[in-house]
Structure 1
Amino acid sequence: MRTIILLFLAIGSLSISSSAQTKAVETLKIKTPTVGCEACKTRIEEYLKRYDGVTYVNVNWRKKETMVKFLTNRINAETIKAAIANAGYEADEYPANPDAYNKLPKTCKHGG
């Protein structure tokens, strides 16, 4: 009888610990009005994928939108927006970093 009780306790604690490890994934849509070509798309997608916690990135340069899925226990929305700005592009309320913008290829700049 004691073995059965211990077995149930062990199973119960395993199910509790596995549910506690569930990772919350959030989807974020960011307005990226200065993204204007495939090179911009590739640059942002590759840049964001380096961040721990970013699980998916899709830049739609025609709609001027970037969709990012991320693990909330590893990174937050503000860090992602700041990363896009640090890559040289506007991201919602974050202006592009001027130094990074100046290093972009001519085709990725306004009117390029």
Structure 2
Amino acid sequence: MKKIIGFVVLGFLMSFGAKAQSFASYDNVVSIKTSAICKMCKDRIERDLSLTKGVEKAELNLDDKVVTVAYNAKKTDAAKIKTAITKIGYDADEVVADQKAHDRLPDCCQKTAVPHDD
């Protein structure tokens, strides 16, 4: 029984350590200012970018609305990542969000919405 509990605790600690991995270990990293507002926006951007060809890791900081993306330069580049963000429905630096994608976002996630903590 002690071994099982030990393995569970070890697994938890290992998963926490993997989550805390910094972007310093990646060769190609870009930071992009977005129009994200809430946790739903964060979840959507991180999930959709993780499905984008060449993206290795994506994390959105809601305090400054900047998404940091690690990517494989053989498969994608910063411009393609910005385009992917706009196709999700959000601005990406100077590139304006795709209007149809933006209109499909929940009302609380659209640019005109008041920032909130959800």
TM-score, shorter chain, exceeding 0.5: yes
2:39 match:
38
Cα displacement (A) at 1:52: 2.0
Moved over 2 A (4+): none
1:1-112, aligned counterparts within 5 Å?
25-32=27-34, 34-109=35-110, 110-112=112-114
Give the SS at the match of 1:47: helix
How much is the aligned-residue C-alpha RMSD, in angstroms?
Answer: 1.2
Bigger Rg over Cα: 1
Give the SS at the match of 1:58: strand
Percentage of matched positions with identical amino acids = 34
The answer to whether the Cα contact below 8 Å between 1:36 and 1:62 also exists between their aligned partners in 2 is no
Give the SS at the match of 2:91: coil
Give the SS at the match of 2:76: coil
Question: What is the aligned residue count?
Answer: 88
TM-score, normalised to structure 2's length? 0.71
Cα displacement (A) at 1:80: 0.2
Task: Structure 2 unaligned segments of length 5 or more: list them.
Answer: 1-25
> Equivalents in 1 of 2:77, 2:27: separation in Å?
11
Cα displacement (A) at 1:82: 0.4
Cα displacement (A) at 1:25: 2.8
